[in-house]
Structure 1
Amino acid sequence: MTATAAPLDLLLLPTWLVPVEPAGVVLKEHGLGIRDGRIAFIGPRGAALKLAATEVRELPGMLLSPGLINAHGHAAMSLFRGLADDLPLMTWLEKHIWPAEAKWVDEAFVRDGTDLAIAEQLKGGITCFSDMYFYPKVASDCVHNSGMRAQIAIPILDFPIPGASTPDEAIRQGVELFGDLKHHPRIKITFGPHAPYTVCDENLEKIRIMAEELDASIHMHVHETAFEVQQAVEQTGERPLARLGRLGMLGPRFQAVHMTQISEDDLALLVESNTSVIHCPESNLKLASGFCPVERLWQAGVNVAIGTDGAASNNDLDLLGETRTAAMLAKAVAGSATALDAHRALRMATLNGARAMGLESEIGSLEVGKAADIVAFDLSGLAQQPIYDPVSQLIYATGRDCVKHLWVAGKQLLDDRQLTRMDEQQLTAMAIAWGQRISGHGE
């Protein structure tokens, strides 16, 4: 917690500072200094005020934490928000979402939908998100222009998808995009085979080899429903996770999304391979897909991160709300009020997400040397009083409307709840126009 003699670009002086690492710590009346997009100082307010700084921001009544990390979603699907609600997963996919995608998804759809999702996430305190959707180059351009941070997973299925007529073409596009953005400071390209039931062994093998060659991650829906697992066992005699293990897919670079069905053998595989699990509680609840046993995973040593999933199945990209749901659900599933306490829930929404994406040395906690991806939550309101533990108030009593300021790599992208690089009115009008087009032609 030291600083060099060069002036800070920005000194933030909140009431509380929650670094996340070390775990469970709340620093009161401390300052955080930023220089060249990185955290250069964390220390007591008195010491902070002695430092030279180009700009000083007093943040009374505010809690400073690492930016939230949304570890799974389909950004452009924000334009399908509310299109087909209250349906089971396969009906929702096969009868509604896939036909809508076939009709509407093109580069313009992905660009506009991704911009809408980025704006919503920034306003909700999210500084980094994982996206798995069509036309990934378009999505990466949106991320680049916005100043946000993201992991872009290249979608790969056995059948033609918008933007790629074959799985080989999708893989090739992924390799090209990986090469193009290898040195991008805020974008990481990964491979996104959709799910075990939509990608065959041969294509999974190609993905595994390419991911190993490039040292890239793999992001995949796995064990989302009991039906998925049951169908696989009936057809092949093998659970999907066991199949992925046999194919050599699992490991510290593998991100298993959903995992609502976990047997003892599954748990052993996850632990042994050091695979991360991405928990999407609200989407799973809404689609009645099942419950990920978060506390059981956590106690076994599995890294569990959190994602919103897409706005078509959630229906918002509110990671703070998602984290509260995750904490409540974990207690019910475990039958224990001590499961997933508030501090661990915040860790799941920050550092665990960074670890799942292989970015834990860069983001996920407030530590000197890390990128300045930071969010300021305003806890001064009536509904947050009185404050005994500010982290408990953040998780259990605070909504995303309390997000006041946000920085990514030291650049302020949200100032007093106003987006600094995006036009909110323009985005709203654009989304309304898409909704009118889709509903008008969808009869």
Structure 2
Amino acid sequence: GRDGMRFGLSWKGICATMLLWTTGQNPTICLCFQNAQNYSLGKRRETLMVVLKAQWVVPVTSPPIRNGAVLVVGGIIAAVGKAKEVLKQAPSQGQRIEFSESVIVPGLVNPHTHLENTHFAHIKKPQQFNSWLAQMVRLVRNQSFEDALIAAKEGVDQSARYGVTCIGEFSRFGASFVALREFALRGVVFKEFICLDEREIERRLAELESWLKRAEFENSLLTVGVGPHAPYSVVPNAFKQVLELAERQSLPVCVHAAESPSERKLVEHRKGILRFWLGNVLKSAPVGLSSIRYLDWLGALKAKTLLVHCIQVDNNDIALLAERGVWVAHCPRSNANLKVGLMPLAKMISAGVKVCLATDGLASVESLSPLDEIRFAIKLSKEHPKIYPSLSPSQWLRMVTLNAASALGLDREIGSLEKGKQADLAVFNIGSSVNDPFEALLFEAKKANLTMVSGRIVNLSI
């Protein structure tokens, strides 16, 4: 029953599975769904060989395929194309699943969130950033590892139901690493690092290195990185040492940067409420640098760095981001809810900055759905055409698939449906007689019917 509920199975589905097992048939789940035919899902969580057929297949790196199919063998995509051609390549003993009114897409990638904050969804939205931050500090201080683990598990489950197969997680406790491992989702877990006092550097770094060592090589689906929290929450000397650690161990880096006007006042001018709260955390840093230029002074702007937000930026910052080749995770709903302003997305893209979309955590957004993030971004593009570009639906989808995978350093493995890549994919109902699967996906799809990671079903919704 527990595994069935994790897949999103109803009790009717669980009973049907039990019936097949108890009657001595091959132990697969054979169910008839409202919008799919001939379901035959793999033994428990693992699918070794299966053909997924749908009204549409959207590979992302090539045009959409009407009446398409994907062949999965041993967790790897073995073929993508017209269903009749893919079926010719499928071994006769392989399983076949048909989705009559659906689209198969690469698994959605959420490059930045806070799963451990899932139980903070009750926080008022919208509200000013400073009041939100003060509330978050109080909540996090009272949270235990066990609390964070329960929240992270709920966040992983919600993510899988939205078709998310890979997560860039910013983790305070490391509890989300455990949750992702248990639910078999793919992810990069950035261990949060905060150090407001020079006297704490040695202890904090030892704790970080200890966690990284424990997490090493535990799961092929998970990798780890370091997350120096923000320019204003790590003393410069500690920040540099974390970056050196990342360089030595070839670890990715994630930083919240240029998010709020308060951050800008502190980092550039040593003024504002954050100066009152945080004191002299930046006393050894140069005055007058923007958050982006300060991070460059620290040596943080490198190809393996992912910056989150980047709202408070000027033209020089944008040019620097493009020159350094860093990725930027844009979280438009969170930015709106915390009233920190609009990212100059049109300028970013025009300058060549690499941008992807992310949800952020439930403490500042209403859902963990990347498709909801796209819908809000499209709304902004209509309301603020001079600041926000009018991108095509296919371009928006790429921001939560291949772009997001690239931001996490995983684009060779996931982010598109291509032969040889990992079988990370999602299936969404889009209705019948659809001529544009991109439009239908972005404006009709809600939760995923099926979510698969490396050939394993992690969500099945009836």
Deviation at 1:174, TM superposition (A): 4.1
Deviation at 1:394, TM superposition (A): 1.3
> Which of 217, 223, 227 in structure 1 is aligned with 2:252?
217
Q: Secondary structure at the match of 1:316?
A: coil
CA gap of 1:287–1:354, structure 2 versus 1, over 3 A, is same
Deviation at 1:204, TM superposition (A): 1.1
Instruction: State the one-letter code of the partner of 2:103.
Output: L
Aligned match of 2:212: 175
Instruction: State the one-letter code of the partner of 2:418.
Output: E
> Which of 282, 306, 320 in structure 2 is aligned with 1:255?
306
Matched, 1:101 2:148: no
Aligned match of 2:75: 37
Q: Secondary structure at the match of 1:132?
A: strand
Deviation at 1:393, TM superposition (A): 1.9
Q: Secondary structure at the match of 2:307?
A: strand
For 1:206-285, list aligned pairs within 5 A.
Answer: 206-235=241-270, 236-285=287-336
Give the gaps of 5 or more residues in structure 2.
1-46, 271-286
Deviation at 1:337, TM superposition (A): 8.7
Deviation at 1:388, TM superposition (A): 3.2
CA distance in 2 between counterparts of 1:111 and 1:315 reads: 20
* Contact kept? 1:159, 1:167, Cα under 8 Å: no
Aligned match of 2:451: 406
* Contact kept? 2:268, 2:289, Cα under 8 Å: yes
For 1:426-441, list aligned pairs within 5 A.
Answer: none
Aligned match of 1:81: 121
Compute the TM-score of the two structures, normalised by the length of structure 2. Answer: 0.81
Matched, 1:57 2:94: no
Deviation at 1:335, TM superposition (A): 2.8
Matched, 1:133 2:167: no
Q: Secondary structure at the match of 2:449?
A: strand
Please list the CA deviations of residues 128-184 of structure 1 after superposition, one character each: whole Å capped at 9, or x if unmatched.
111112221x32121111011111111101149xxx994323422343145344xx3
For 1:178-197, list aligned pairs within 5 A.
Answer: 179-181=216-218, 184-197=219-232
Aligned match of 2:55: 15
Matched, 1:202 2:237: yes
CA gap of 1:259–1:114, structure 2 versus 1, over 3 A, is same
Please list the CA deviations of residues 96-134 of structure 1 after superposition, one character each: whole Å capped at 9, or x if unmatched.
11112112x111111100000011111111111111122
Please list the CA deviations of residues 243-292 of structure 1 after superposition, one character each: whole Å capped at 9, or x if unmatched.
11112111111111011122111111111110000011111101111111
CA distance in 1 between counterparts of 2:452 and 2:314 reads: 41
* Contact kept? 1:295, 1:340, Cα under 8 Å: no
Deviation at 1:88, TM superposition (A): 1.1
Please list the CA deviations of residues 195-225 of structure 1 after superposition, one character each: whole Å capped at 9, or x if unmatched.
1010121011111111111111111100001
CA gap of 1:337–1:61, structure 2 versus 1, over 3 A, is farther
* Contact kept? 2:322, 2:354, Cα under 8 Å: no
Q: Secondary structure at the match of 2:139?
A: helix
CA distance in 2 between counterparts of 1:31 and 1:399 reads: 19
Please list the CA deviations of residues 283-326 of structure 1 after superposition, one character each: whole Å capped at 9, or x if unmatched.
11011111112232223222211111110111321211011112
Matched, 1:296 2:369: no
Question: How many aligned positions are there?
Answer: 395
Q: Alignment RMSD, CA only? A: 2.1
Instruction: State the one-letter code of the partner of 1:406.
Output: T
% of aligned pairs identical?
26
Q: Secondary structure at the match of 1:363?
A: coil
Runs ≥4 in structure 1, deviation > 6 angstroms?
none
CA distance in 2 between counterparts of 1:55 and 1:132 reads: 37
CA gap of 1:379–1:37, structure 2 versus 1, over 3 A, is same
* Contact kept? 2:424, 2:455, Cα under 8 Å: yes
* Contact kept? 1:219, 1:255, Cα under 8 Å: yes
Give the gaps of 5 or more residues in structure 1.
1-6, 419-443
Aligned match of 1:390: 437
Instruction: State the one-letter code of the partner of 2:313.
Output: I
For 1:146-165, list aligned pairs within 5 A.
Answer: 146-159=183-196
* Contact kept? 2:126, 2:336, Cα under 8 Å: no
CA distance in 2 between counterparts of 1:281 and 1:170 reads: 33
Deviation at 1:226, TM superposition (A): 2.3
CA distance in 1 between counterparts of 2:216 and 2:180 reads: 17
* Contact kept? 1:80, 1:312, Cα under 8 Å: yes
Compute the TM-score of the two structures, normalised by the length of structure 1. Answer: 0.85
* Contact kept? 1:293, 1:330, Cα under 8 Å: no
Instruction: State the one-letter code of the partner of 1:202.
Output: N
Matched, 1:69 2:109: yes
> Which of 357, 360, 365 in structure 2 is aligned with 1:314?
365
Aligned match of 1:374: 425
Instruction: State the one-letter code of the partner of 2:386.
Output: G
Instruction: State the one-letter code of the partner of 1:388.
Output: N
Deviation at 1:231, TM superposition (A): 2.5
CA gap of 1:357–1:211, structure 2 versus 1, over 3 A, is same
CA gap of 1:299–1:49, structure 2 versus 1, over 3 A, is same
Q: Secondary structure at the match of 1:72?
A: strand
> Which of 392, 414, 428 in structure 2 is aligned with 1:363?
414
Please list the CA deviations of residues 341-386 of structure 1 after superposition, one character each: whole Å capped at 9, or x if unmatched.
21110000111110000000011111111110000010117xxxx6
* Contact kept? 1:294, 1:330, Cα under 8 Å: no
